[in-house]
Amino acid sequence: MVELGQNLHFVGMVLTYLLWGAILKLRETRTRLIQMVLALGVYFSATACTYALRNLFPVLQPAVLRWVPPIMGVWLPIAWAYTFAKVSEDSRLATARLVARAR
């Protein structure tokens, strides 16, 4: 069951990463869309990492790792609610600025 969760969330993470790559390539500027995809990426990557750690170190499960999936489950709707509540539909953002390296 843990391995299935790990693999499913990893696939979700890879697909979200591809979606993020497409957003960067197409120079999508809608802030709402960008924040929703990034929040989804945070959710899938954190959950996949947690399941992988559970697989590697089962001893960590009762103390630490059991809390991460529920926390991430709350994170996603709250992050999306914040995006809809605080970011206007017309808001635009240059994606190049988000991945800009330090100069």
How many CB atoms are closer than 10 A to CB 75? 16
Q: What number of CA atoms fall less than 13 Å from residue 99's CA on the CB side?
A: 10
Residue placing its CB nearer to other proteins in the complex, 52 or 61:
52
Binding flag, residue 45, other proteins (CB under 8 A): yes
d(CA 82, CA 68) in angstroms, rounded, equals 20
Smallest Cα–Cα separation from 95: which of 44, 19, 11, 1? 19
Binding flag, residue 20, other proteins (CB under 8 A): yes
Member of 1, 85, 90, 96 binding other proteins (CB under 8 A): 85
Contact residues toward other proteins (CB under 8 A) are 3, 6, 10, 13, 16-17, 20, 31, 34-35, 38-39, 41-42, 45-46, 48-49, 52-53, 55-56, 75, 78-79, 81-82, 85-87, 91, 93, 97-99, 102-103
